[in-house]
């Protein structure tokens, strides 16, 4: 995509880093060239009619690509088509930078086996990006499953050239973190895999044995490989102060979906940013019984939102927080500036002179935020 020479979005409610104001933003050569206050609409400008104009949204953790690749159980959709559709969907809901989550660490043996896929899928995505087939900016988020058989081998297949922005430490051992409630895990696993009671018990025993055998070594491997790839480290589903202490010891500065108030408070004390799921906020609570995002927001313990499994939730939740806090700039920062800062992307996530011209125009229709336009480096993509 080659940026247009100049675009002006005028008569807009600009969402700036610390305030909102009526004004216009000028874009030239893919960058923000200037910001002017007032409702004037210069000749040739786009009249936004008071719509919100904000930075493009930044998504740090989404499983959305998996839904496109496997739209039905046992259906493996052609990957190039799935990647392009996923990219277009994100652009359409205002996401202009995404860290696509891909699992590394597999269990190729046993009844509930799952095989490696990340290296091949990442190569396909990076090739499409290099050929100009994608509308928005894509990075990789490698979900490092410490409770697995093949984490070290799979991590070794990636390098600094692969745009790996995040490596998250994932521990899905039954009986702790997200899966500390074995009854809820049992209902989920048996329903998903059509397991019998005996199958489930064998599955739990296998995972616990893998954690005992490989867990500590896999954590060390993931931490070292993240550094080699130039990625930031994130924790996942921290539940206790002890979990957070381990995260802090690894140098982690981003906590994905802490499950308890105790963990969120410990993250804040350790200087670790707290990221919660936008669906949790919109639905009024966690679907798995964990701490509610709204509770953390009310206590000032929520820093970043992720759409997780519903891309359109990111914009909706950012606006909801703006209303909840009576501060739209603060709410939108959780889906723009804060995630950008967490992963070291200082060139985006804010409307400021010199920043990338990744912008979205948003109308509110019956309270629902609707994307009326999206620009990436000054080029309209939706």
- By CB atoms closer than 10 A (0-12, 13-18, 19+), residue 41 is middle
Alpha-carbon distance of 269 to 168, in angstroms, equals 20
Closest by Cα among 73, 129, 55 to 328 = 55
Structure tokens at 95: 């996401």
**57-346: CATH architecture:** Alpha-Beta Barrel (3.20)
143 DSSP β-pair partners: 103, 168
Instruction: Return the DSSP state at 149.
Output: S
pTM of the model: 0.91
Question: Could you tell me the residue ranges of all domains in the chain?
Answer: 1-56+348-382, 57-346
Contacts of 26 (CB under 8 A, 6+ apart): 6, 7, 8, 32, 33, 34, 35, 36
pLDDT for the residue 75: 92
SS3 238: coil
Structure tokens at 252: 């982690």
Alpha-carbon distance of 272 to 214, in angstroms, equals 26
pLDDT for the residue 148: 84
Contacts of 381 (CB under 8 A, 6+ apart): 1, 91, 96, 135, 136, 374, 375
Alpha-carbon distance of 45 to 239, in angstroms, equals 50
Instruction: Tell me the C-alpha to C-alpha distance, in Å, between residue 160 and each of 41, 44, 231.
Output: 45, 43, 8
Alpha-carbon distance of 380 to 1, in angstroms, equals 10
Contacts of 311 (CB under 8 A, 6+ apart): 59, 62, 64, 89, 90, 93, 95
Alpha-carbon distance of 248 to 235, in angstroms, equals 9
SS3 316: helix
Class of domain 1-56+348-382: mainly beta
pLDDT for the residue 8: 98
Q: Count CA within 13 A, CB hemisphere, residue 216.
A: 2
pLDDT in tens, the chain (382 residues): 444 479 999 999 999 999 999 999 999 999 999 999 999 999 999 999 999 999 999 999 999 999 999 998 889 999 999 999 999 999 999 999 999 999 998 876 665 566 899 999 999 999 999 999 999 999 999 999 988 888 999 999 999 999 999 999 988 666 565 666 556 555 555 555 566 667 666 666 666 666 767 768 889 999 999 999 999 999 999 999 999 999 999 999 999 999 999 999 999 999 999 999 999 999 998 877 789 999 999 999 999 999 999 999 999 999 999 999 999 999 999 999 999 999 999 999 999 999 999 999 999 999 999 999 999 999 999 9
pLDDT for the residue 3: 45
pLDDT for the residue 103: 95
């Amino acid at each position: 995509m080659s940026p247009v020479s100049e675009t002006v979005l005028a008569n807009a409610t600009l969402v700036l880093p610390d305030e909102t104001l009526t004004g216009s933003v000028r874009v030239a050569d893919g960058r923000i060239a200037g910001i002017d206050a007032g409702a004037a609409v210069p000749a040739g400008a786009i009249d936004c009619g008071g719509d919100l104009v904000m930075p493009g949204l930044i998504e740090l953790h989404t499983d959305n690509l998996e839904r496109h690749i496997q739209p039905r159980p046992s259906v493996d959709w052609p990957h190039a088509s799935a990647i392009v559709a996923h990219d277009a969907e994100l652009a359409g809901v205002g996401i202009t930078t995404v860290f696509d989550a891909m699992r590394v660490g597999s269990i190729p043996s046993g009844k509930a086996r799952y095989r490696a896929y990340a290296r091949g899928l990442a190569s396909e995505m990076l090739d499409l990006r290099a050929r100009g087939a994608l509308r928005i900016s894509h990075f990789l988020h490698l979900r490092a499953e410490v409770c697995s058989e093949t984490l070290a081998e799979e991590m070794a297949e990636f390098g600094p050239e692969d745009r790996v922005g995040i490596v998250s430490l994932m521990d899905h051992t039954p009986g702790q973190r997200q899966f500390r409630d074995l009854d809820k895990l049992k209902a989920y696993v048996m329903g998903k895999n059509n397991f019998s009671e005996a199958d489930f018990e064998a599955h739990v025993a296998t995972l616990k044995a893998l954690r005992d055998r490989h867990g500590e070594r896999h954590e060390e491997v993931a931490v070292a490989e993240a550094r080699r790839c130039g990625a930031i480290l994130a924790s996942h589903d921290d539940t206790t102060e002890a979990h957070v202490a381990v995260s802090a010891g690894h140098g982690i500065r981003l906590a994905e979906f802490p499950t308890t108030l105790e963990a969120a408070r410990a993250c804040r004390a350790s200087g670790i940013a707290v990221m919660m799921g936008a669906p949790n906020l919109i639905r009024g609570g966690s679907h798995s019984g964990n701490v509610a995002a709204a509770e953390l927001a009310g206590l000032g313990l929520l820093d970043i939102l992720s759409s997780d499994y519903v891309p359109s939730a990111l914009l909706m939740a950012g606006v909801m927080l703006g209303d909840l806090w009576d501060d739209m700039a603060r709410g939108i920062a959780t889906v723009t500036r804060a995630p950008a800062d967490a992963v070291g992307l200082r060139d985006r996530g804010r409307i400021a002179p010199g920043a990338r011209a990744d912008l979205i125009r948003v109308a509110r229709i019956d309270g629902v935020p609707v994307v009326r336009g999206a620009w990436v480096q000054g080029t309209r993509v939706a």
